[in-house]
Amino acid sequence: MADEKPSAEGHDTAAGGDKWDIRLVLPDDGIPWYKKRHLLLLNIFMVIPYLSSTTNGYDGSMMNGLQSQNQWQTFFGYPTGTRLGSLGNGVIFGQILAFPIAPWLADNTGRRFPIFSGSALLVVGAALQCASTNYAMFLASRMLIGFGGLIAVESSPMLVTELAYPTHRPVLVGYYNNLWYLGAILAAWITYGTYFMGQNNNWSWRIPSLLQGFFPLLQVLFIYFLPESPRYLVQKDRNDEARKILVKYHAGGDEDSALVAFEMKEIIVQIETAKAASSTGYLEFIKTRGNLHRLFIIIIVPCMMQLSGNGLTSYYLHIILDSIGLTSDPQQLRINGGLMIFNFAVSVAMASLMEIAGRRRLFLFSTIGMLISYIIWTILSAINQERNFTDGSLGTGVVAMIFLYQFFYNSGLNGPSWVYVTEVLPTHLRAKGTNIMQIAGTCALVFNGYANPVAMAAITWKYYIVYICVIAVEIVFVYFWFPETKGRTLEEVALIFDGEGALGDQELLQEKETGHAEV
């Protein structure tokens, strides 16, 4: 990350050239950001909302690991089909119940309180999950985890997006979803380690279940060390508070900072223009051509994140490995753990390149690569089954294709997705748009939870053909309907969808200049 100069692409034509060019007000003192105390502290604080993603990653990997533990299988009666799907979807059921609540909390209480309250519920859910005495109690605890998790997850990337230093925002938001893999790595190796506690020791699955509450507990304790979103404060006409936050964390206490003056002006004008031209309800998404385009993107992106075949490796890796003859519990746990480490390394590296490559190029690179690797994966699986799994090299080849597929998935559908969605949404619609994204993603997860285990059990490798077709359609969507957004501030992205009027006309700008001088 660099705090001096963002990419120049897209700025020359933005709102009439220099009028909204943030490059003109960025400090050019030659000091790297990590030597500036205010930026270092701000970026360190971002770890707190990141932990919402870490908890999500822990959940998926933990369920993979528990399914490979004979202790867990024995205790819950070897669940299969829809019974297994219900456990995988228990979190989803809880999320569905939270959908009406999460955006209301974000819009009316700020971005921090939902993270606090959702994380507190997650801690309780993890304790109940650990203490489960039967299938029903385990399912209920997972529903509570899903309910609290969605409330925390919806506000977390919004807080990072709206609080981050302008030139750091794309990378910081990109890292948000990458931290999913930190939780996945820990869960994979914790379940691997507890597996060896003994065949009759139920703490082998209770310990990983309890530890799911560790990261939410950290969020409960530390979320209020992070300031509130200045864009939320402006939306609530608390401009004075918003400016103080920007002065402290973006300008290092410089009350006369040209950057802060620019940011406040841009935020105020964009929000006031949006308020004058529209409402903040869900129907706003179908009232203009620009908002319809946004609606398309925020529905398609989460579907791509969940329906590109990754649901198989996230929650049902053990079924894939069983299908190619790799049935040993420790072997499956090691592959799961190694895959999570690989995913984390790739996703962090690719997120760091986001401002160089751009969002659209990474989406195309990702989807095309996934298609190629899935085709090879399918062919190897088919041949392996025809030979009754006697050729070990074919099984190794499938595992290699799983790793290659994950490389491409993490290149474009992990970090860039959250960056892209939060960028295309204006402040007044960001909470509701994020909720729509979560609803679309949840629908896809419900499909994964029930269809994947049933289809894999019934038709094994032939099921992969469905995802080959889905990924091919995704490539078409990205090519024709995903505009590039790199090099623009949050407010400038609105120009792509709404045209020149998105940031207000000169008269409105002059009106707000006076108001800004007083905030």
Whether the Cβ atoms of residue 218 and residue 126 lie closer than 8 Å to each other: no
Please enumerate in sequence order all residues whose Cβ is within 8 A of that of 325, keeping only pairs 6 or more positions apart, or say none.
384, 389, 395
**Among 53, 56, 58, 68, which Cα is nearest to 92's?**
56
The pair of three-digit structure tokens given for residue 287, joined into one six-digit string: 């009232």
Is the confidence at residue 278, as pLDDT, over 90? no
Whether the Cβ atoms of residue 341 and residue 178 lie closer than 8 Å to each other: no
**Model pLDDT for residues 285-297, shown as the tens digit of each residue:** 998 999 999 999 9
The class of domain 30-226+278-487 in CATH terms is mainly alpha
What whole-number distance in Å separates Cα of residue 305 and Cα of residue 53? 14
Is the confidence at residue 517, as pLDDT, over 70? no
Look at 35 and 13; give whichever has higher pLDDT. Answer: 35
pLDDT of residue 55: 94
Positive or negative, the CA dihedral 104, 109, 114, 117 is negative
Q: Which amino acid is at 491?
A: E
Query: In the block, which residue shows the tokens 């529209």?
Result: 278
The pair of three-digit structure tokens given for residue 227, joined into one six-digit string: 């300031």
DSSP conformational letter for 423: H
Number of C-beta neighbours around residue 406 at 10 A = 23
By residue count, the chain amounts to: 519
**Model pLDDT for residues 135-154, shown as the tens digit of each residue:** 999 999 999 999 999 999 99
**What are φ and ψ of residue 213, in 5° steps?**
-90, 0
**Model pLDDT for residues 372-399, shown as the tens digit of each residue:** 999 998 898 888 778 776 777 887 888 8
pLDDT of residue 371: 96
DSSP 167-201: TTHHHHHHHHHHTHHHHHHHHHHHHHHHHTT-TT-
**Model pLDDT for residues 325-369, shown as the tens digit of each residue:** 777 878 877 887 888 889 888 888 888 888 788 899 999 999 999
What whole-number distance in Å separates Cα of residue 252 and Cα of residue 280? 33
**Model pLDDT for residues 75-134, shown as the tens digit of each residue:** 988 887 778 778 877 888 898 899 999 999 999 999 999 999 999 999 999 999 999 999
Look at 70 and 220; give whichever has higher pLDDT. Answer: 220
Is the confidence at residue 14, as pLDDT, over 50? no
Measured in whole angstroms, the distance separating CA 492 from the mean position of its chain's CA atoms is 22
Query: pLDDT category, 7, cuts 50, 70, 90?
Result: very low
- What proportion of the chain, given as a percentage, has pLDDT over 90? 45
Q: Which amino acid is at 508?
A: L
**Model pLDDT for residues 398-425, shown as the tens digit of each residue:** 888 889 999 999 898 887 888 899 899 9
Query: pLDDT category, 314, cuts 50, 70, 90?
Result: low
What whole-number distance in Å separates Cα of residue 358 and Cα of residue 197? 47
Measured in whole angstroms, the distance separating CA 197 from the mean position of its chain's CA atoms is 34
Once rounded to an integer, what is the mean pLDDT over residues 243-271?
93
Query: Strand ranges (DSSP E) for 248-351?
Result: none
**Among 203, 191, 84, which Cα is nearest to 139's?**
84
**DSSP-derived 3-state class of residue 485:** coil
What whole-number distance in Å separates Cα of residue 430 and Cα of residue 291? 12
Measured in whole angstroms, the distance separating CA 62 from the mean position of its chain's CA atoms is 18
Computed over every residue of the chain, the mean pLDDT equals 85
**Model pLDDT for residues 188-243, shown as the tens digit of each residue:** 889 989 989 988 899 999 999 999 999 999 999 999 999 999 999 999 999 999 99
The domain locations on the chain are 30-226+278-487
Look at 186 and 491; give whichever has higher pLDDT. Answer: 186
